[in-house]
Structure 1
Amino acid sequence: MTGASAAAWEALYRVWRVGDTAGLATVVATFGSAPRPPGTPMLVTAEGRVVGSVSGGCVDGDVHARALAAVSDGVPRLVSYGVSDDDARAVGLTCGGTIEVFVEPVDARSFAELPRLIACQRLGVPAVSATVVAHPLRAAVGAHALVTADDDLGFNGDLGFNGDLGFNGDRAFDGGTAPRSDGALAPADEALLREAAWRLLREGGAGGARCATLRLSGAREGEMRVLLVPYLPPPRMLVFGANDFAAALVPQARLLGYRTTVCDARPVFTTAERFPEADEVVTAWPHRHLADEHEAGRLDGRTAVVCLSHDPKFEIPLLAAALRLPLGYVGAMGSRRAHADRVARLRAEGVTEAELAALASPVGLDLAARTPAETAVSIAAELILLTRGGLPARRSTVPVPVPGPVPVPGPVPVPTLAPVPAERATAKEARR
């Protein structure tokens, strides 16, 4: 979850706690090119204040108006935005894609599970929320459920819990559903809702938020559409080597949502003052710290390990251990000559060719980076490419040429346009 999304949820919780109503807009589905992924929230308070965004700005104004309407009339709505036309009064996406946005009023009755969801987000407990965005019965639209992997959430007074927390015997709880009228969501529909959420939770939230179409049975035939949003602890990045490259990489990693650890065996270099943006600074032998984290169960398939040390006594034991773990990314900094020596040493340690194939070395995309900041950008870019399923981009075998100055293009001919009617021009300016 991004910082902007977390801010929207925290702002919604503040509104919820004081008993007010707010409008919550959430991206449900995207088709083609779209600026924000499913699950992205945007909060609109009753006073019109906005936290978050569901687009690059092109439809946020219309979503804002619909959220205020939802606060006023208490009715949720599912809205689709496609490509805008030439009409200045039209609202749509300029990127050529289509997005669906679910806009709902939120208060203590309609979203009773919100405090539990906030607790999961704050404490890093994996959870999946499920929201009915379409149903044959209008009263069922907006029903919510929450499932989570752990009931030990440590609620405190800040979250304001009272009464039964709804725990069950299999060390999981859910917040129940909150249909907009009693009995609106039939038990069979509720079971479908929860099973879909559990399935995504068991998959570890793979693939992110999604909209599922569930076939109803019994007297209420038809389909309901459910928005499933996983909330997972932030992925971890372990940066080994306390140097300027690590100091540049940590803020880049935080921008991508990683929880960062800087580790080095040399205490004089491994200080919190040198890495103020790191979540954790550890003085330890790199391979031993990695082993400790693995044994404690704090590593998973999203974890990134980046070795920025050139010292073989540190990097070879570390990389040999990291390449044998089911991690998301293992990279090591160095020149191509250093890479060849590194690979030879790892082979001598018994690392297989299949394991070596997972090593990103030299680390980062081949951007001809020279400074620590540029190297950090190249590493972040490679992580985005791999985690988003982009095309494989291994480094070239020849140096990347550094281009010369880009020639300044001449003036672009401006076509002659017919005058725009005054009322249409006014509408266009208003939209801008």
Structure 2
Amino acid sequence: MLDIAEELHRWVEQGRDFAVATVVATSGSAPRQPGAALAVDTDGTAIGSVSGGCVEGAVYELCQEALRTGETVLERFGYSDDDAFAVGLTCGGVIDILITPVRAGAVPPAPATPTASPASFGLAASLGSLAGAGAAGEADSDEAAPAVQPPSDAGHGASRTLIAAIAATAQGEPMALARVVRGPAGLLGRALLVRPGGERTGTLGGHPELDRVATEETAALLDAGRTGTVEIGTGSGTGGGAGFGAQGGGPAGGGSAETDTATGTGAETDRGAETDTATGTDTATGTDTATGTDTDAETDTATETDTDTERTGSRCGDPVVLLVESSVPAPRMIVFGAIDFASALVRVGRFLNYHVTVCDARPVFATKARFPDADEIVVDWPHRYLEAQEAAGLLDTRTVLCVLTHDAKFDVPLLERALRLPVAYVGAMGSRRTHLDRLERLRSIGLTEIELNRLRSPIGLDLGARTPEETALSIAAEIVANRRGGTGVPLTGAHTPIHHDVTSTVDRIGSVA
């Protein structure tokens, strides 16, 4: 959703209500990654995209429906085992999409914080009663809805948090937005916002301990500048959420009807993929024997939480899965060496949305006239500048270092430091002969083979590049392949995935009851 925050911020300032559809999980060759969004306002204006065109029409209608009902829903689009071409996504793959109505024009003040003691009931019991309440609420919803239904109090809370996240992103403030995308129906779409240092806005509404753990995990993704999913388990017995991977790399739907039933909610439906499974989910949610629909069952669950949950997991069987979207400053690309190849690389780096710095010890070359596209030009010895940036905490795991100086007196002291930093990429220009000489110099000053193996040299992929622009493209291609887990081989005739995910393991957290 944050990819269209600037446009949404204008809508909020104009008081325009809207519904936003966000990709929360993908599998196969889904064209957009988790966090991609499409929004529709009450006038029917649409911005953004969730599928590159495959299912935009259906999602547009779902957004309009959400504006009418005021309900948050989770939908799935894609293939099924029994239907080769399910509704939409003819390009292949499965996507799960969360549709949330947002009231920009009339958001009431925040309700008072509940005063219930966290020690009075466990998280598992809390989630169980929420699941039961969700099922009961569905059973009692026979009355006709008005043409445009305002969101519930929970919806107002989510609207406030989403609006705060939109404003922060539009203003360039670092923060992360966490939303419940799977779990008890009463929590679906709930949101909280986390800023650096752990400051929190909003609540997931289930239990204070759920907010605490969610805040910690969201802050961890914010520190890494990552967007991904996190599963907060209510015990070792839960099998849900297995369909979600960090950064959206896992399959969207899990491997079986049982898994989807355990993790699904009454609000979730299935567009073309595993239709029977979706129907089963509603049936399972309606019975709700484990969580307890009546008061006595809920009391028993709460009483047994401290003993049974630790041994067998949550009685309700529903972990909570969060989509966490991080909004952080652009990743850094630092280009050492103010040469013609650097000028082309600066342009490509800006195109890839890096904040690009050019550093060179020679003031005659490091000038704005030579590098008009650079965000920053620094005249300093490369290794000294890198040390200063590290000391100031201005380097992170997304930082890219490109050493184009091609001169041992600059390269060696710089690489000695660079290869020991937790940055994303370190590449150095030079011939193979230069590379071998450089390795020997680095070994002689104490670098290990593990550290040397991090060096991408000669820099770039083999594209047969000759010109500065072609060389810059070669370097950029290697940076992207390194970031996304690509192989660099032609896709024609290959049997490798088109879209890679370098961190596809689900982040699981143990019982917090």
1:191 aligns with 2:209: yes
Say which of 229, 232, 241 aligns to 1:210.
229
1:361 to partner: Cα distance: 0.3
Judge conservation of contact 1:133–1:227 (CA < 8 Å) in 2: yes
1:309-388 → structure 2 map (5 Å cutoff): 309-388=405-484
Moved more, 111-120 or 248-257: 111-120
1:114 to partner: Cα distance: 3.7
Supply the distance in 2 between the matched residues of 1:100 and 1:322 (Cα, whole angstroms).
Answer: 40
> Structure 1 residues 213 and 94, CA, compared in 2 at 3 Å: closer, same or farther?
farther
Letter of the 1:198 counterpart: E
Provide the residue aligned with 1:418 in structure 2: none
Provide the residue aligned with 2:266 in structure 1: none
1:252-291 → structure 2 map (5 Å cutoff): 252-291=348-387
Long gaps (5+) in structure 1? 151-171, 180-184, 394-432
Letter of the 2:175 counterpart: A
User: CA deviation digits over 1:113-166, x for unaligned, max 9?
Assistant: 24542465367655332212345445x43221112223xxxxxxxxxxxxxxxx
Report the secondary structure of 1:176's partner residue.
strand
Supply the distance in 1 between the matched residues of 2:396 and 2:382 (Cα, whole angstroms).
Answer: 17
Aligned-residue CA RMSD in angstroms?
2.8
1:298 to partner: Cα distance: 0.5
1:362 to partner: Cα distance: 0.4
Supply the distance in 2 between the matched residues of 1:123 and 1:238 (Cα, whole angstroms).
Answer: 25
Supply the distance in 1 between the matched residues of 2:473 and 2:488 (Cα, whole angstroms).
Answer: 17
Supply the distance in 2 between the matched residues of 1:308 and 1:366 (Cα, whole angstroms).
Answer: 17
Judge conservation of contact 1:147–1:194 (CA < 8 Å) in 2: no
Judge conservation of contact 1:13–1:114 (CA < 8 Å) in 2: no
Judge conservation of contact 2:226–2:325 (CA < 8 Å) in 1: no
1:95 aligns with 2:108: no
User: CA deviation digits over 1:327-349, x for unaligned, max 9?
Assistant: 22110111212212222332333
- Normalising by structure 1, report the TM-score: 0.74
Moved more, 330-339 or 206-215: 206-215
User: CA deviation digits over 1:176-230, x for unaligned, max 9?
Assistant: 13x8xxxxx34x2x53245134224225347631163654985694524432223
Supply the distance in 2 between the matched residues of 1:19 and 1:135 (Cα, whole angstroms).
Answer: 31
Moved more, 66-75 or 217-226: 217-226
Supply the distance in 1 between the matched residues of 2:178 and 2:432 (Cα, whole angstroms).
Answer: 48
Supply the distance in 2 between the matched residues of 1:126 and 1:285 (Cα, whole angstroms).
Answer: 30
Long gaps (5+) in structure 2? 108-155, 236-290, 292-300, 303-314, 490-513
Bigger helix share: 2
How many residues are paired up?
357
Greater relative CO (CA pairs within 8 A, separation 6+): 2
Letter of the 1:343 counterpart: L
Provide the residue aligned with 1:73 in structure 2: 69
Supply the distance in 2 between the matched residues of 1:360 and 1:343 (Cα, whole angstroms).
Answer: 11
Supply the distance in 1 between the matched residues of 2:179 and 2:326 (Cα, whole angstroms).
Answer: 12
Provide the residue aligned with 1:15 in structure 2: 11
Provide the residue aligned with 2:192 in structure 1: 145
> Structure 1 residues 345 and 225, CA, compared in 2 at 3 Å: closer, same or farther?
closer
Supply the distance in 2 between the matched residues of 1:72 and 1:43 (Cα, whole angstroms).
Answer: 14
1:175 aligns with 2:223: no
1:373 to partner: Cα distance: 1.5
1:47 to partner: Cα distance: 2.6
Provide the residue aligned with 1:406 in structure 2: none
Identity of aligned residues (%): 47
> Structure 1 residues 202 and 148, CA, compared in 2 at 3 Å: closer, same or farther?
same
Supply the distance in 2 between the matched residues of 1:351 and 1:137 (Cα, whole angstroms).
Answer: 54
1:301 to partner: Cα distance: 2.0
Report the secondary structure of 2:76's partner residue.
strand
Supply the distance in 2 between the matched residues of 1:355 and 1:119 (Cα, whole angstroms).
Answer: 42
Report the secondary structure of 2:160's partner residue.
coil
